[in-house]
Structure 1
């Protein structure tokens, strides 16, 4: 828990310079400028409720980072896609993530990196499975 919290705080501080707040980075990463995605699809990907995604999208939409579109066939469904500005911010988010990961890995002995990476991926898989059951 402490590792997750510290990493999240470091990433949040680096992203705050561009106005990206905690959680928005993951939402931006779940969107695509070339493909519209349903709010339910995004919520499932993030393991959160659709209402949570909708609230976060309100902020991103006001900033011009995404746009929502009604489904032509089923008006109850809403799709979302990144705008060009949203894609620029998304690329920045991914760059920051990569820099933080690279910096952390440089601090560890090379023989630890692959074992630790594999173990963390297993922990992530377990957590995602548990989250999907609880939602």
Structure 2
């Protein structure tokens, strides 16, 4: 669990990554790539499940889909940003989404994501992205 005054580790093999996606095949593919890179992965298939993770343990990095039934990734990141810093309110976060128009990027950044990455994402790019996100909070 990340402490309020500690910086997250910047190498994927030392990170706890929360991946949120309602598509089981996308979730599994992301989990496998990140796990092979050495990260510890927690997955959630909805914004509600992701918030339950934050109640148990604060991940180092959040990767979330945008278009999910019920609450979207935008709803999720807004809720996360309302959390106190010590509970993950400042977590480095990226939107991994099929919504790839310029206005989608703007919406994602305005909502509280630090990066907007169109799907599909190359496995090497994904590992680099996670490292970059972790360094942003350092």
Higher helix share goes to which structure?
Answer: 1
User: Which category describes the TM-score, using the shorter chain as reference length?
Assistant: under 0.3
TM, length-normalised to structure 1: 0.25
| Higher relative contact order, chain-length normalized (CA < 8 Å, sep 6+) | 2
Higher strand share goes to which structure?
Answer: 2
Name which one, 1 or 2, has greater alpha-carbon Rg.
1
TM, length-normalised to structure 2: 0.24
